[in-house]
Amino acid sequence: MDRAGRRSLIGRALLSLVLWAGFWVLALGLVAGLAAIPLAQSLYGAGVSGGGLLAALGAVAVAWSLRPRLGPARTARRPAPLSREQFPVLHALVADLARRSGAPVPGAIHLSVRANAGIWVERRWLGLRHTWMVELGLPLLAALDRDQLASVLAHELGHGRGGDLLLGAWVHRTHASLGAAIDGLDGSAFLLDAPFRAYGRLFLRVSRTVAREQELAADAHAAALCGARATASALRAVHRMADAWDVYLDQDAWPLLERGVRVPLLEGFRRFRAEPALRDEARRALEAAAAQPATPWDTHPPLAERLAALGTPTRFGGAGLGASTPALSLLGGETAAETAWYERAATGGLDALKPIGWDEVGTAVLLPGLAEALAVTPLAAAGHPLAALPALVRDAEGVWRGAVRGVNVLSPATRRREGLRLLADWLTGALARRGFALEARPGAARCLRRGEAVVEPGRVVEALASGAWDEARYLEACAAWEPAPA
């Protein structure tokens, strides 16, 4: 590390020390100040008053909120890393980048399903043994070529080389202590959480400056090792796909995994991005992510600032490196990479998941799931004809009340919305029994098809609920959905 880098590291270390010390000065000072009130009353006054007792209780409450948390998060299961024997090419690339960075070779490489990468230190033997760990997201391997992925790895190793792993952990622990104190004192009648909230705002503003400097320094390190072009194109590629991947994963892929189903993840994402008419839920989620404004608490600089620091154009387009091989080749290709993730993510191993193609999801997974969910509602036993749907939509709140056991604390608007969702599920099952095939394209609204007839149950229910369809129009449509007489 050069002299300027050492000065920067020393400055960040001192700032982290000040932030950490400031928190404990505030916390212990508040405890001491509150405890001093009843003590002074006892020593120099007529005895401890009611106010003194309240101050003592406040001191105990603050002290209790500062206690160490030794919960299950410390022992949470982390999937097994990618072994050197199974993936030698990836390990060789990481080892080469570590040596060129002047950093220790990471002891393990983990594969995640999120569109990011990370590096951290695993401490054992009371902190005497330190092992670096690297994590790569499966979507990064699909979106980047080998040179771009190398720049992402170099960025993470740059964090370690710059001392950010130590300082970042320090800042994180201070942030966790602040959060625990605020959570423990939340709702205090004497506003005991107010000083911690005020310090938290100051802490986030100052630590953000440190975090942004760390990100720009790691970008510069990646550019020095892998080239500014590879680093900039990787930043653009991740920026373009990250929000879409998160929406696809949370709304389409993850619910299937929770049902014990294994679908081709990357193929599904390609279908999601190619879908010409995204369903309303997915579209709103993407629009909300795109409209998310920058805040003073963001730890990463905006993309334009990061590209400008690299000396590259700030536009998001532009050709990639082209000549480099796909990053998925480091794991043996798309199928091998997905299998490696599923093997590690599934609690019971790969055999615990049933492989299903996307074209089979509607019939093999969603329809049985809908039938199971509706089986405990009056809709399953009532045998309503299709023509009953307009009346059911008018009483959507009653439909929901009939389907819920126990205390119902939802608002009337929420009960109606949930009732309409149940009715869309009921219409889906009713049409499937009439010979319609359920399609579940990633990103698309649920639809059923029989010959030339295509029905979107959610849109039908929404049209009836909003008044866009009257009962006569609906009855005309549903007459065509009934099977032809034998």
DSSP secondary structure string, 252-308?
IIHHHHHTTEE--HHHHHHHHHH-SS--HHHHHHHHHHHTPPP-TT-SS--HHHHHH
What stretch of H or E contains 467? none
CB of 231 closer than 8 Å to CB of 150: no
Question: Which residues are CB-contacts of 312 (< 8 A; sequence separation ≥ 6)?
Answer: 228, 229, 232
Stretch (H or E) spanning 80: none
DSSP 3-state assignment of 131? Answer: strand
C-alpha distances in angstroms, 478 versus 309, 370, 421, 474?
60, 21, 19, 6
Residue 476: how many CB atoms within 10 A of its CB? 10
The tokens for 254 are 């993850």
What does the alpha-carbon distance between residue 72 and residue 15 come to, in Å, rounded to a whole number? 31
Structure-block tokens of residue 232 = 């900039």
- In sequence order, the β-bridge partners of residue 124 are 129
Which residues lie below 8 Å from residue 216, measured CB to CB, with a gap of 6+? 301, 305, 306, 309
Q: Quote the tokens at residue 384.
A: 């309503």
Are 402 and 377 within 8 A, CB to CB?
A: yes
Please give the pLDDT value at position 456.
Answer: 94
Distance CA 447, CA 49 (A): 70
Q: Which residues pair with 135 in a beta bridge?
A: 110, 118
Which of 4-23 are b and which e, b meaning 16 or more Cβ less than 10 Å from the residue's Cβ? Answer: eeeebbeebeebbeebbeeb
Q: Which amino acid is at 119?
A: I
Give the single-character DSSP code of 74. G
pLDDT at 330: 95
Q: Give the N- to C-terminal CA distance of the chain in Å, as an integer.
A: 83
pLDDT values of the chain reduced to their tens digit, one per residue, 486 residues: 455 555 555 565 566 667 667 767 777 787 788 788 888 878 777 777 777 777 777 777 767 766 655 444 444 456 889 999 999 999 999 999 999 998 889 999 999 999 999 988 887 665 556 788 999 999 999 999 999 999 999 999 998 876 666 655 555 555 555 555 555 555 444 566 677 667 666 666 666 677 788 889 899 999 999 999 999 999 999 999 999 999 999 999 999 998 999 999 999 999 999 999 999 999 999 999 888 877 655 778 889 999 999 987 655 444 334 447 899 999 999 999 999 999 988 877 788 899 999 999 999 999 998 888 888 777 876 567 899 999 999 999 988 888 776 656 678 888 899 999 999 999 999 999 899 999 989 999 999 999 999 999 999 999 999 999 999 999 999 899 988 665
pLDDT of residue 375: 82
C-alpha to C-alpha distances, 24 to 31, 184, 196, 202, 208, nearest whole angstrom: 10, 16, 11, 14, 20
Query: Which stretch of DSSP H or E encloses residue 454?
Result: strand 453-455
Q: Is 193 within 8 Å of 113 (Cβ atoms)?
A: no
Q: What is the pLDDT of residue 365?
A: 93
What is the SS3 assignment for 355?
strand
pLDDT value of residue 49 = 78
The single-letter DSSP state of residue 78 is -
Tell me 249's DSSP state: I
Judging by DSSP bridges, how do beta strands 354-355 and 261-262 pair with one another? parallel
Q: How far apart are CA 400 and CA 422, in angstroms?
A: 8
Sequence-separated (6 or more) residues with CB below 8 Å from residue 91 = 82, 84, 109
pLDDT for 84 equals: 94
Six-digit token string for 190? 């004497």
